[in-house]
A and B are shown apart, each in its own frame.
Chain A
Amino acid sequence: MNHALFKQSLMVAAVSLSLTACLSNEKQDEKVTINKNPFPSTYKILPQQDTLFTQATVLTGTGERIDNADILFVDGKIKQIGVGLNATNVEVIDAQGKWITPGIIDVHSHLGVYPSPSVESHSDGNEMSSPNTSEVWAEHSVWPQDPGFQAARAGGITTLQILPGSANLFGGRGVTLKNVPSHTMQAMKFVDAPYGLKMACGENPKRLYGSRKQMPSTRMGNVAGYRAAWAEAAEYKRAWNKYDADYAAGKNPLAPVRDLELDTLMGVLDGEVLVHNHCYKAEEMAVMIDIGKEFNYHSGTFHHGIEAYKIADKLAANGNCVAMWPDWWGFKMEAYDMVEENVAIVDSVKNSCAIVHSDSSTTIQRLNQEAGKVLYRANDNGFELKEEDAIKWITANAAKSLGIDDKTGSLQAGKNADLVLWNTNPFSVYAQAEQVFVDGAKVYDRFDEKYQAKSDFLLGQK
């Protein structure tokens, strides 16, 4: 198309648009739009200090290890990593003999929604009243005073996704938080992190609803439930698209009736909400991948993928991240086929995205050691993995799964200064986080009580 013709066609289009508007002869009501961020983050960076760490062993999270490295962060962002850096007007911390990694990220936590103490009044992690509760948002259950947040911070956790439980086919939205102390959830919210949608395969949904004599009571019932929901969501999305198109065309269409459940599913179909699917077994993950293709969404990250090693190629080819434990098993039939090298086998395939997650208020405090177990057991059995590989499972790959890898998860110039100073190799059983930084602000210091937060709940307890 040449330039003149293009201009002409634009003019015609403009004329026809206004004609349509005139012809419809309708006064347009105010456009109905969905506010996709009704609980916006109020996070503010804690007091920060530009800092230069010197002479550390650095695992960047990008697969690289740099010995005797200096790291400079300024205004909460990583500015430079290298050997023999110079900087003025910054705090200099001698990190010789110590290790620095990106801040640790847990993609699967229930801190705040199943907090300590685990009293009935705080058991807010799973709205089990229906197989599909896509309308609920975990963030509305988060109790920011959960002492588990501080314990996790002492273990180097800087970012974590809080998910609803796994009793339902669709458990609701997860939220990504920065692990900073706060008395509101919004002030912990990771700005611009996409929402997650918790889905669950297998035993949990069929056991719970089956025991209530309602669907699903079988795995095939589970799948029928997912598909029915996606079919409905596709219709809902079509209705909104039509409304938007008609409105844009100057008509005065009636907006579809808001449905909070379908809003979330439509978010997935639009690629704005990421799927986080509790799914243990190889054959079930394979089915979930196909459902994603059937309804044109991405099947996302599989959580607790105990059998991921059986289909590592398929998962990588489809671009699924898989979040796994190093060794939990046997609590359910679907967790029977554990192998300690699961994470390493998934990781060994090109374009894979292997993650170590906790799903535990205890192991989240030592996610580095959880990854370490995989590293060493795999190397005992023929793998040749290094620390710089293993760190990705709890940093960069986790960030990718949460859709925040452009901001955190690796030590690269321009990324958030989320990092951990360790007393030794972080994959040692004796490793302890000495200092933890979020956006260049110190949020934890093992040797300085000033940086050891304490929950309201624990204050004044004798």
Chain B
Amino acid sequence: MKVIQINKPILNALVTIPFVLCAFITSTVQAKSTAITHATVYTLAGEGTIENATVIIDQGKITQVYSSDNTPENINTDEIIDAKGRILTPGFIGSMNSLGLVEVSAVARSRDSKDKEADITFDASLAFNPKSTLIAYTRKGGITSNIVAPQGGEDLFAGQSFVVDLSGEFNSVTDRQNAVIVHLGAETKGSRALKLQALDYKFEDAQKALAKQALANKSKDKKAKEDKEPKRDELVINALLAGEKPLIAYADRATDLLALIALKQKYGLDLVLVGASDAVLIVDEIVAANVPIILSAIDNLPSSFDSLHANLSNMAMLTKAGVKVILAPEGDSHNINRLRFDAGVAVANGVSRIDALAALTANVADVFKLNSGRIQVGKNADLVLWSADPFELSTKVDSMWINGKSISTRSRQDDLRDRYLTKSDMPKAYSK
């Protein structure tokens, strides 16, 4: 059990204790300053791993990271939590899923991740439900924030992703329309070539339009200027051309990956690959082009002719070559909390522990420009204190903080279990 020491005057303590108790009922408490002492801190930053460290969080941010040598004698925070040597990591960051957009996959009216009409402007964050039962369950995996990716419709682009924290609060969406999603590769009807061409033409046309616009802007004809005002979808393409947001491209076969890298070079795109099971065939090109890869560590079967080289050892090969890898879950959004186990499998197959941890934290933050993913002064206080090794099956989340607030991992699943383990003469419906 965690030890919570209250070291402020009694008045403060009286206020604090009910809040702590409330944590078990309402799952969040008010932000207050907290010191986590005697922790083994995986900073994912320059300091590496610090034993016996103290991390101070205040106003939702990490305000101090002390090693054992420079920890002050008196720590003046609202509460002190003694980690007793346990591991503290940045909160994990999920990505490329439909969290908060789908409650039950097969229930059409609980699904907001796709739409036939969706195009590059599709902003599914408007549909995000922070009260979805998936959120608390996902927290059990130490996940404190997530990149939600829409699944699009008939358009070339599937829409844009957005960022949420897993606080379950109505202000969970922290960044909207932060990257553009495109799916490439094998087609059930038609040829993969056409989409690659279409993508190229989009950028080429946009570049031409931008040039014309620049010309029009110089002219004095007001009407000409207005005519060249870009439309909403064009603005998004322009943002990609300016490298202001990443293009997240799903593709597996090496030829598609190379074609995408060529587009990156031609147009100066901020390219990120997803899946990329053939990446192991073109490691040098990927490293040279500095393209991050989002993948599932456990995807090792040749599920199509595009992914004949899927293998459990791929992630190790890529990380060793210096590719920035992000671990994303396989399948739908209900079991994102398994991500940490995927990381464990990756380690068992040759990935270093730090690379695996970075793939769930710092790398995601870097690619999606989040102020989290590291235990560093100024970063969001999204933290997880683990009972032991975060990747191990026997480990659980002991405590977690999102934006500096302590939050419970209790979910609907726990309520159901407790109901059916409660002995009663009355029907279970009376056990609440």
Contacts and interface: CB of A to CB of B under 8 A. Distances in A.
A361 interface: yes
Contacts of A362: 298-301, 330
Given A151-B301, A362-B301, A430 B344 contact: yes
Given A309-B417, A381-B417, A429-B392, A327 B302 contact: no
A92 B312 CA distance: 31
B303 interface: yes
A153 B391 CA distance: 24
A372 interface: yes
Interface string B403-422: 00000000001101100110
B302 A331 contact: no
A176 to B, nearest CB: 22
Contacts of B103: 330
Interface string B114-153: 0000000000000000000010000000000000000000
A328 interface: yes
Nearest to B103: A330
Contacts of A265: none
B305 interface: yes
A346 to B, nearest CB: 11
Contacts of B345: 366, 429
Which DSSP category, helix, strand, loop or mixed, fits chain A's interface? Answer: loop
Interface string A422-437: 0000011111100000
Interface string A74-115: 000000000000000000000000000000000000000000
Interface in A299-355: 309-310, 327-333, 336-341, 345
B107 interface: yes
A117 B106 contact: no
How many of chain B's residues touch chain A, expressed as a range? 35 or more
Interface stretch (B4-12, B29-37, B332-340): B332-340
A296 B101 CA distance: 46
Given A309-B417, A331-B332, A339-B417, A373 B299 contact: no
Contacts of B417: 309, 339-341, 345, 381
A148 interface: yes
B346 to A, nearest CB: 10
Interface string B286-306: 000000000000111111110
Contact of A457 (B302, B304, B413, B414): B302
Given A369-B341, A430-B348, A330 B105 contact: yes
A461 interface: yes
B393 interface: yes
Interface residues of A, number: 45
Given A118-B304, A461-B308, A432 B105 contact: no
Interface in B365-414: 391-396, 413-414
A241 to B, nearest CB: 43
Nearest to B345: A429
B301 A361 contact: yes
Interface string A399-433: 00000000000000000000000000001111110
Contact of A345 (B300, B305, B344, B420): B420
A151 B299 CA distance: 11
B125 to A, nearest CB: 21
Given A151-B301, A429-B341, A430-B348, A331 B393 contact: no
Contacts of A328: 334-335
Contacts of A376: 393-396
A331 B334 contact: yes
A461 B306 CA distance: 12
B273 interface: no
A461 B302 CA distance: 11
Contacts of A345: 417, 420-421
Contacts of B303: 116-118
Contacts of B308: 117, 458, 461
Contact of A148 (B301, B391, B394): B301
A449 interface: no
Contacts of B301: 116, 147-148, 151, 361-362
B347 interface: yes
Contacts of B416: 337, 339
B104 interface: yes
A461 B307 CA distance: 11
Contacts of A382: 421
A203 interface: yes
Contacts of A458: 302, 308
B420 A373 contact: no
A461 B311 CA distance: 14
A380 interface: yes
B134 A117 contact: no
B351 to A, nearest CB: 12
Contacts of B395: 376
Nearest to A342: B417
Given A151-B301, A339-B413, A430-B344, 7 more contacts: A117-B305, A118-B303, A338-B413, A340-B417, A429-B347, A430-B392, A431-B348
For the complex of A and B, list the 5 residue pairs with the smallest distance between their C-beta atoms, beginning with the closest.
A429-B344, A330-B334, A116-B301, A339-B417, A332-B106
26 contacts: A116-B302, A117-B303, A117-B308, A118-B303, A119-B304, A119-B305, A151-B301, A309-B420, A310-B428, A327-B338, A328-B334, A329-B413, A330-B103, A333-B104, A339-B413, A339-B420, A340-B417, A365-B300, A376-B394, A376-B395, A427-B394, A429-B341, A430-B347, A430-B392, A461-B302, A461-B308
